[in-house]
Amino acid sequence: MVKTSERIYEDFEVNCVLKGSSRKELRDAVVRTFLEEKGGYWKNGIKQVTKYKYFVETLSDGKKIFLLRPTFLNKGIDFQVWVERFENEEDKKPSHKDIFKDLKIKQKENPKLLEKLLDAIDSVWYCEEPEVVLKRIGKIEFKNGFSTEMLLKILKWLFIEQDVTYWNYDGRGMLRMEINKQLDISDLSDKMKEFFK
């Protein structure tokens, strides 16, 4: 039988909780989860492609954050981070630029409150769960932009994505340093300096 370029997509949705207390634990948990996926295959000369949507976070307003696989920019075990009804009631993949733009809006609105938010971002960067951080820091509310909850939960997964994709470099460090660069912040915390030694 001659195989064609025709393909059929088989979609899977998975609810999962992936936690860890270190970069390695988080990366390993994500990769182990992806290794359980059903592989693509051929049937009757038609390519059967498996697609996965992993629901990993639920926001207080009911929206969910999900990971989408496979992606088409990189090959292998990478993923995209998406938010339901993110923009104009449509699902969207928030980009690093979206995060930088939001933080600049917050910086302009209230620089002092932004410092508190950056401390919360650092806690997530150090692998503390966003829910735990939110309970500890109390309310950080800005008039404009993403909610603190959404921002921290998106960043959790963008940091993990960077660790999966760029583990042999500095993974999440690249995104965290770019946040400082975009906000024109040159100082690093002592703890963060240790990471970059």
pLDDT digits (tens, 9 = 90+) for 30-69: 999 999 999 999 998 899 999 999 999 999 999 999 999 9
Q: CB–CB of 39/49 below 8 Å?
A: no
User: Which range (25-29, 81-85, 192-196) has the least confidence?
Assistant: 192-196
For the segment 128-140, the average pLDDT, to the nearest whole number, is 95
Question: Most distant CA pair in the chain: distance in Å?
Answer: 67
Long-range contacts of 23-29 (CB under 8 A, 24+ apart): 23/127, 23/163, 23/171, 23/172, 25/127, 26/127, 26/160, 26/163, 27/160, 27/163, 27/164, 27/167, 27/171
The mean per-residue pLDDT over the stretch 77-98 comes to 92
Contact 117, 179 (CB under 8 A): no
Average pLDDT (93-113) is 97
**Predicted structure pTM score:** 0.90
Whether the ω angle into residue 70 lies within 30 degrees of 0, i.e. cis, is yes
Residue from 97, 94, 41, 93 nearest 69 by CA:
93
